[in-house]
Every structure is written in C-alpha cells, then in structure tokens.
Amino acid sequence: ATIAVGMLIAMAVAQFVGVWQLARHVARSRTANERLAAETADQPLPKVAILLSLRGADPDLFDGLVALGHQDHDNYEVVVVVDHELDPSLAVARRAAEALPPGRLRVDVIRQRSTQCGLKCCALAQAYRSLDSDVKIIALVDADIVVHPTWLRRLVAPLSDERVGVVTGAQWFEPEDGDTGTWIRSIWNAGASVPTIMLGHPWAGSCALRTADVDTTRLVERWERSIIDDGPIAAVAHEMKREVRFVPDAWMINREHCSRKFVVPYLTRMLTWSRLYESTYPITVGHAVGTLALWGIAWYTVWRGLVLGDVSLILFGLLPALLFWIAAAAAFWLVRGVLRREARRRDIVVRRKGFLDMVRVVVLLPVTYLIYAWSSLAALTVRRVLWRGVEYRLDGGVVRMTHYEPYRAAPPGTRSSVGTPTIHLSQDRFARAGVGVFFLGLAIQLTLLSQMTWSPRYAAVIAPSQLNHQHYTSAVRDPGGDSSPTTPNTNTGDPPSDIDPAGTHESVAPDPPPNTSPETWNEVDRFAERVDSVMNQIADFRGVLVKQERLFGKLEPLVTLEFRQLSTPLCIHVRWTDVNQGREVLFRVEEDDSETMIARQETVLGALVPTVSLSKDHPFTRTLSNHPIDELSMEYLREQMLRYVRHARRNPESIVELVNEVPLDARTCQRLTIVHPRQTELAPKGYHRVDMYFDMETGYPLRWEKYDWPGSEGADEADPQNPTSIPPLLEYYEVKQFEANLGQTLDDFRNDNPEFGFGRAPIVPLD
C-alpha cells in the first residue's frame, strides 16, 4: 500500500507536469509556425488537394464542406469521395459544391470497393490517384469538424521546411450538452491529448503531407491494406526520419453529441487502432490498468481505516486519493484552457463552463478511468469491428471486409456521431479465455475489496498502542516473528520476563519431567474427568479474553475482547476493547439450526459504515484467525482438551505433567502440560506442546497455550548454540473476569439488545 500510495502521488504530480509541458509545447509550436508563415508570406503557395472520405452525413457536414471551400489559400481543391450512390452524404456534398465557386469542390463515388482495407482508406486512395500532377501537398480532414478560414494555410506552411515530413493537428471533443457519454469522451480525450501532441502522433483528421513523400513511401498502397489512415502515416514519417510537427491552428473542435451507448465502443475502437499501429500500446494498457489499481488501493486503504477506526490509516489513503482526483480534474480544465486560448486566436468561441460542469467532471472521473481500463484490455482481443454497417475482420495486420451494405440515414434531428460501432471480441478460444480470466480476476478483486473491510473474527490486526516496547525472547513474541521489541499486556502489573511474558511468575515454556509415570496418567484421567464435567455444566458465561495467534507465520499482537456465550443454542457475542474499539460480532445458531453472523465497526462516519452479515466460514475470515468464531465456545474447548489427552495417550513418547497450586492472577490453578518430543507418525501434526490452566476451585479454563515444533518458522533463536531451544508460540488465550451460569437466554443475543451496538440499522449481506 505504501508503494501504491507513493506512485499515486507521483502520478498526481505528473498530471500537472504533463499539462505544463503541453502548454509550453503548444506555445513554442505556435510561435514557430507564425514565424514560418511570416517568412513565406511572399512565396507562391503550392497547390494543395484536400481529401475527404464520406459515409453517412454527420450533423455539421454541410457547414464543414462550405468551410473547406472558403480557405484563405487560393491554390487548392477539395476532393470528396462518397461511399455509395444511396449514401445521404452525397446529396449534402453536391449541395455544398453548388454553394461554392465552380471547381472548388469535386464529388465522386467509390468505383471499386476493396475488401482488404477500410472504406475510408479505399476512398482516400481513389481520391489521391485522381489528382493532377501539379498537386504538391495533400491535406486530410475528417467529416465531423468545421475548419476555420486560415486552417489550410497554417497547416501546410511547415512543409516548406524540409526537416518536416508530416504536419498534424489534434482533436478536441467539446461537450455541448449534459449527456454522460459526451463528457466521458471529452475527459478521456483530454488525457489522451497530452501524449498524442507531445509524442507527435499524427491525426489524419487534420493532417498534411507532400505528394512526393506519399509516392516515395508508397503510402497509398499502405492505405489499401489498412483499416485506418493514421497508422500508415505514422509509419512513413518514422521511415522518412522526418519530424511530425504539431500545429496549434489545426487543433480542431468536435461538438457532436456522444451517447452513453456509444462511448464504450468508441474508446475500445480507438484503443484497438492504437494496439494495431502504435508500438507504445503496452504502456497505454499499463497506464490504464495501473492507474485504476493504484487509485483503488488508496480508496481501499481509506475504507480499511474506517472499518478499523484508524485515523492515520484513513489519512494515509485519503490524501493521495483526493490529490490524484483533484489533479486529474484540474488537468482536464487546464488542457481545455490551453485549447480555449488557441480557439480565441482563431475567433472560435469555446464557452466558459459553470460550477455544475466542474462537479460533473469530478463525478465522472472514476467512471472514465474504469471505462479506459476496460477498453484498453478489451482492445487486446478485438478481432471483428462493425462500423457504420460495415464489418471488418482483423487478423494481425491483415484487414478483411466481411460484410458491406449502404449506409442508412440516422433519425432526423440527431446530433450524435454517425453510427454506433459494435466491437466483437475475438472468437479465438485463447482470447475468450483471456477475457474470462479478466472478468474472473475483476470479480475476485471486487469481492476481496468488499470483504476485506471487515474483521468479524476475534483476531488482532493492529498492535495495541498501550504496549510497552521491551525486548524479550520468550514464547510470546513480537508481531511478525522478528526481533523488534514488543511486550504484551500483563496480568498482575509485574513486568514481563524472558520466560514469563504475561507477568504471572510462572514459566510458559519450562521443560517437563523426562517421562510420564502411570501415577501421573491416573491423576490426569481424574483431572480430565472433573474438568469435562465442569465445562459440560456451563450453560452460559461472560468474561474478558486476551488472545494472540500466529497467522501466516507471523505472531499477531495481543488483543483484548469482551465476550459472552450461550451454550444451547450456541450464541456468541464479541466486542473489541483495544485499538479496535467499537468492533463487535454476533453469532447465533437459530432454532432451525441455521447460522447467522453479523459484524459492525464504529467509525467517524457512523451509519455510513453498515452492519454486514456473513457466514462463519467466509473466505476472508480465514485470513484473520485460525479458528471460526464457534470454536470460541466452551463445548469446543472441552472437546479440544480431551483431544489433547487422547493424542498424548496414543503417542508412547509423549510427556504429560500435571502441576497443582500454580498462581495465575489472584487465582490458584492446575496446569496440564503435554509435550510430544519428536515428530513421529503417532505425534500430532499441528503442535508440539500445549499448556492448559484450570481454576483449582471451579475447574473453569483460564489460560491456554499451544506451541509449534522446535525449528519451525518463527522459532526463537535465543541460544546461538541451540537455535531451537524455545518452541514458537502458535496460540495464547487467557480468560479474565470469568462468570458462568448467569441465566442468559436466547433473547439476550438478539440484534436489538441495547447492550449491543447493532440497534435496528439495516444489515448488508457480505456473502
């Protein structure tokens, strides 16, 4: 979590650095382009052909065509190639040609559709081959933008510099309505604009090249094998080893509506093109998934802190999470601010947004990052794309049109982009398996995040703040099994020692006698029979439990719990009283033998952190204790005691010791010690030694210790000559203020018991 939080802070800072670098890059590009335009103002303008492919009539198509015909460059023509005679864009293009000077806009229809490339590339190839030989530069433009009068002159001016091979602009999606899809597309586009502009990725929606370079690099032939026009342009620019220059005046604004249905396929399609034609796509996937994961870890840390009532943990996750959120939102508005400044220079109005729009960006940022991550992964498996009624099959770098039909007009009055793409994941079984693994992993992550907010077991997860930090090398060790000093709570107030971690004046790990006599076994049998009878007669009880367990090879810190129990039907209530104060769990076996368990944690958010219900064997609870909660019952302890004795009888090498008059707090106990010296077939697998303390007067269990085999993980290395001299502690339980047979009933273990904190709040299932 620390590494994740640190990386998230770095990414938040990187947001501001990236926008700052973008603003500088745009300013330098504008200055250089203006200087170049001034130097070439008196030179004759080369003839330019603007190439445009049409399938479907975009909402602003007529205005866009008219704008293309009114450029301040006097030596150019516009060549439009329409997909089909029945296409609705054909009538719009002919109407625009009539409104422009004769010869300015030439309209043609695709004469032969290739099945080896996208329709746009097929149309551009036909348009290019129809050009006169005196055309020196081609400019490409998309049908969904409206250019400004100086667009063409500014776009082609840098090509007078031989070091420049491609001149490009960029695309900005300006949200003109409140639709969620429109804003998500704009937020994603703002983030994508920074690397696109800074790294010089050409955008064919506003782009210019020399015809000589097109012929030299055989770009048209490449278009005839490609599904998009941008990818081959980037490839030829790289091969020519010439600069791809960004021109701020070619940074175009798209104001079309984008529906919620459209936005996910759109992002997936754009990222699919990136996968096919950009070598940096693995970085894109890593950024998308990594950002979402880091942000998720930070918010999980916040939620974890709320559940545990740990203010420092809350702040540790909350501050970087909010910092990144604020930085991402600010980055959107800062990038948009750079765009607005450039638009004002061209007398293009990009209106100021209000407070509600700012709130909308903040709210939609997490959704955008989620869609971005999903689309970047989904793009890895896309093999079939249905776009504007045409279906393409993508097999590696090979494109194949598998279905074609003329474009059908959209409903009148719509402002949406033409056509909603349908993205089909690969039919390959390995790709399907990959998608299945992704969804499975996502489900597991979401499940774990929801489950890990609760600690319904009675295990410790945070060391009590009141522990003294004195080093000892006894069986009760510091959390994690390392040598860092930690001291457990004491029973009598006396300081702990190397052999007396709980301050009881009684060793927890002295070696017993070397053998077990028949007299000892007789005494143990009488003792076990008495204790069995006493524990069997306990109908209910309450008290305070101090416990410690070794989980995943690390010894957890001591935890203090208040508990109460009803034996039949089994009901257990546990409340934490240390740093996890406010956490409680209620377990009940109902009259129909069904089981219920609920858990809650008091936090500063009060009822915003709900009570949850879960099973005692919920997967997450196994990460917090070696035992389900019903093993805290008196019946389980009684059976466990008898099981230990049976194990000892079965193993002829076992050593059993029963010691009377052992002091423990203000009580006098009997201590039963069972040791299995060697790991043999007759020895138990799970432990080496147990020490059990029972009140001599009442026979009630007061203390329980279990040790692992010497030499196992966590063993104390106090003696350099004998590094396994003290066996590692597995479990330590001590009962204080024990009161039995109080007359508690099933009604005392209801959720709405005023002594509990559950009240009548709704319960959220966690299973």
Quick check: bond before 569 cis, omega within 30? yes
- Tokens 């203090």 identify what position? 560
pTM, full prediction:
0.60
Task: Give the residue ranges of DSSP H helices in 453-517.
Answer: none
DSSP state of 417: P
Q: Give the separation between CA 753 and CA 755, rounded to whole angstroms.
A: 5
Task: Give the residue ranges of DSSP H helices in 488-607.
Answer: 518-536
For 454, residues 6+ apart whose C-beta sits below 8 A from its C-beta are 307, 599, 601, 612, 614, 620, 766
State residue 721's pLDDT score. Answer: 42
For 25, residues 6+ apart whose C-beta sits below 8 A from its C-beta are 197, 198, 246
CATH tag for 17-397 (out of 3.40.630.30, 3.90.550.10, 3.40.50.300, 3.30.420.40) = 3.90.550.10
Q: Indicate left, alpha or beta for 107 from its phi (over 0: left) and psi (-120 to 50: alpha).
A: beta
State residue 710's pLDDT score. Answer: 80
State residue 667's pLDDT score. Answer: 86
Domain ranges of the chain: 17-397, 507-765
State residue 684's pLDDT score. Answer: 86
CATH code of the region 507-765: 2.50.20.10
State residue 557's pLDDT score. Answer: 84
Q: Is 127 exposed, middle or buried (0-12, 13-18, 19+ CB in 10 A)?
A: buried
State residue 605's pLDDT score. Answer: 58
Nearest-CA neighbor of 458 among 551, 528, 523?
551
Report the chain (767 residues): mean pLDDT per 10 consecutive residues. Answer: 79 88 92 84 88 92 95 93 94 94 94 92 95 94 93 93 93 90 94 91 94 94 93 89 92 90 91 89 90 88 76 86 92 94 90 91 94 93 86 88 83 49 44 47 45 31 26 34 34 36 37 63 89 91 90 84 92 84 86 86 62 78 78 86 89 90 88 90 87 91 89 49 63 91 91 83 70
Q: Is 712 exposed, middle or buried (0-12, 13-18, 19+ CB in 10 A)?
A: middle
Q: Two tokens at 327?
A: 């930085």
Which amino acid, residue 231?
A: G
C-alpha torsion angle, residues 103, 104, 107, 110 (rounded to 10): 100
Q: Give the separation between CA 662 and CA 668, rounded to whole angstroms.
A: 5
Chain centre to alpha carbon of residue 7: 14
**CA-angle at 53, arms to 52 and 59, nearest 5°:** 90
